[in-house]
Structure 1
Amino acid sequence: MTATAAEGASPGAAARRRINPTVARYLSAFRTPKGGVGAGILLVLILAALLAPVLFPGGYDQQSSRALVGPSAQHIFGLDEFGRDIFVRSVYGLRIDLTLILTAVPVSAALGTLLGLTGVFSERLGAGVQRVLDVIIGFPGLVLGVCLVAILGPGWFALFLTIFISGLPSAGRYARSAWLGQQGREYVLAAKVLGVTRRQLLTRHVLPNAMDACVVNAAVWMVVGVYIEAGLSIVGLGIQPPTPSLGVLLNNSLRFMTLSPTYAIGPALLLVLLAVAFSLLSDAFNEAVNRR
């Protein structure tokens, strides 16, 4: 009976053993209340953005004779100045925001981490890279975005570069901090004595210890990316009409606040939900790695 139970439990136990401990720790974040709620909100928003062409085959630019009509059962966010459905445009705008954030932030986190770990190969190179990252820190995201827009012109690529470059310093600093904290450890010194190469030292010891901070930092920068896109688009330096983004819709609504006070509610609600989802996930990841 005991042997049978042990045999029955062995496949599940073996499956659990096959999961990398680091991956299992990150997955545990989704089992917490914050992680579950954040992941649920984000999943709904992603599905809505992906299915927008299916749900609204007419597209986001369909106009009607009515303008600046408030929310109703047929148009839950109301109609804009050209009679276009604000809810439809908001859902399509989510596509722009999500593609920006889910591409720029991971690429920035990966490259920033690698730049922060250049000290593994050369202390001079690592210190030089940190000075360059310090210069980038001197430019707040919105100021950097204005400079890039002045050079490249407004649009998706300028926003991508703004979020990408703004996120490099924090990822680089966390990675360098992990390296500086590990290089004096006994097991790292022993590995050097045994002739372990710098590449092996990086992949086996330093990078795994830097991953926790970098993952949490990336989740935080998802929130920052949301506000960078919104901030630049609100002042007309981001996505350009008629292409919708949440920032563009908020920018348009400012001109009609007296005529249609509810114009901004829908886009602002989706923007807040997107920021809250990433914020909850960053908290969940932070709690998961701190339980280690």
Structure 2
Amino acid sequence: MTTDIDTASAPAPGTPGTARRGGGGALRRYLTALRTPRGAIGAVLLGLLVLLSVLAPVLFPGGYDAQSGNSLAGASARHWMGTDELGRDVLVRTVYGLRTDLSLLLTAVPASAVIGTLMGLAGVISRWLGSGVQRLLDVILGFPGMVLGMCVVLVIGTGWRALFTAILIIGLPLFGRQARAGLQVEQEREYVLAARVLGVRRRTVLVRHVLPNIVDPIIVNAAVYMVVAIFIEAGLSIVGLGIQPPIPSLGAMLNTGARYIEVHPAYVMGPGLVLLLLTLSFTLLSNALNKAVLRR
């Protein structure tokens, strides 16, 4: 399983534009993306998955660790996906596993985007600082995603916090390099040069002119990295370095279910299908956002 970050689908920084893009214009572009077939399907699919994970305690008040005396049972009216090796409902644990995965994705990826973008814009403060930060990002980028994730987990220890840190660190080069490239392009724009001539402060130029023009590719890259983060969690959990029992995650369930696939295929099919749907939703959203940004 590879977790290398592919930025080919992301828009190039500094897409032609001569003035600051207003927040309303950006919002309209994103709403337009959601009205396309891919965007609508991705948004609805992701919304349903998020809603299901949020309502998990209401739908399954018994929790994810409730056991019964019937282990590795097949599908029935009581257990739609059967039970696991400890008699726990596979469907319930799959929904709670989705809840765990979404809690990681919706916190670690935005944190990585914000920190990575700030690191990429460090050159505004000092050219030497910007160059130093980029060398650090190059070092991070030199490690394959899974290898770096394993190193982080081995240092911090297994669990949610380790996965959060691994996803955050692995994504920093994606956002940092994108932000720096956008900064370098925007700094050569006529309106930025004019603002400097007029004595406008660097921070004002950054906030009013540079950031609004590089936010679109950052948003698209965040959607792309959501897919990568899914595979980071699944990959580390499959090799036993992710979420630890009894807390469920989709990757951890695939790891355990693989041992019983011959006698209980639903044990793997349930979490595998949810993982596929989650990946599909973010892929469709990233494609729709990318097309909307390129047409601005």
Q: Do both share a fold (TM > 0.5)?
A: yes
* 1:187 maps to 2:191: yes
The equivalent position to 2:108 in structure 1, one of 94, 104, 108, is 104
The equivalent position to 2:44 in structure 1, one of 31, 40, 46, is 40
Render the CA deviation track for 1:51-87: whole Å, top value 9, x for unaligned.
1111001111111121212233432222111111100
Query: Which residue does the alignment assign to 1:245?
Result: 249
Structure 1, unaligned stretches of length 5 or more? 1-17
Aligned partners of 2:172, 2:242: CA distance in 1, in Å? 20
The equivalent position to 1:79 in structure 2, one of 77, 83, 106, is 83
The within-5 A match list for 1:24-173 is: 24-173=28-177
Quote the offset at 1:140 in angstroms.
2.0
Q: Given that residues 68 and 260 in structure 1 are in contact (C-alpha distance below 8 angstroms), is that contact kept between their aligned partners in structure 2?
A: yes
Q: Given that residues 70 and 263 in structure 1 are in contact (C-alpha distance below 8 angstroms), is that contact kept between their aligned partners in structure 2?
A: no
Aligned partners of 1:172, 1:140: CA distance in 2, in Å? 17
Render the CA deviation track for 1:131-177: whole Å, top value 9, x for unaligned.
10000001222111211121111000000000000111010111111
Q: Given that residues 52 and 92 in structure 1 are in contact (C-alpha distance below 8 angstroms), is that contact kept between their aligned partners in structure 2?
A: yes
The equivalent position to 1:258 in structure 2, one of 258, 262, 272, is 262
Aligned partners of 2:217, 2:262: CA distance in 1, in Å? 46
Larger Rg: 1
Render the CA deviation track for 1:259-280: whole Å, top value 9, x for unaligned.
2233200000000101111111
The within-5 A match list for 1:204-219 is: 204-219=208-223
Letter paired with 1:121: I
Query: With CA pairs under 8 Å and 6+ residues apart, which has the higher RCO, 1 or 2?
Result: 2
Letter paired with 1:42: L
The equivalent position to 1:269 in structure 2, one of 254, 268, 273, is 273
Query: Which residue does the alignment assign to 1:4?
Result: none
Give 3-state SS (helix, strand or coil) of 1:263's partner.
Answer: helix
Gap change, CA 1:254 and 1:128, over 3 Å in 2: same
RMSD: 1.3
Aligned partners of 2:224, 2:210: CA distance in 1, in Å? 22
**Runs of 4 or more consecutive aligned structure 1 residues displaced over 6 Å after TM superposition:** none
Which structure shows the higher helix fraction? 1
Q: Given that residues 152 and 158 in structure 1 are in contact (C-alpha distance below 8 angstroms), is that contact kept between their aligned partners in structure 2?
A: yes
Query: Which residue does the alignment assign to 1:12?
Result: none
Quote the offset at 1:19 in angstroms.
6.8
Query: Which residue does the alignment assign to 2:11?
Result: none
Query: Which residue does the alignment assign to 2:180?
Result: 176
Aligned partners of 2:126, 2:289: CA distance in 1, in Å? 31
Aligned partners of 2:161, 2:232: CA distance in 1, in Å? 13
Quote the offset at 1:121 in angstroms.
2.4
Give 3-state SS (helix, strand or coil) of 1:78's partner.
Answer: coil
Equivalent pairs, count: 275
Structure 2, unaligned stretches of length 5 or more? 1-21
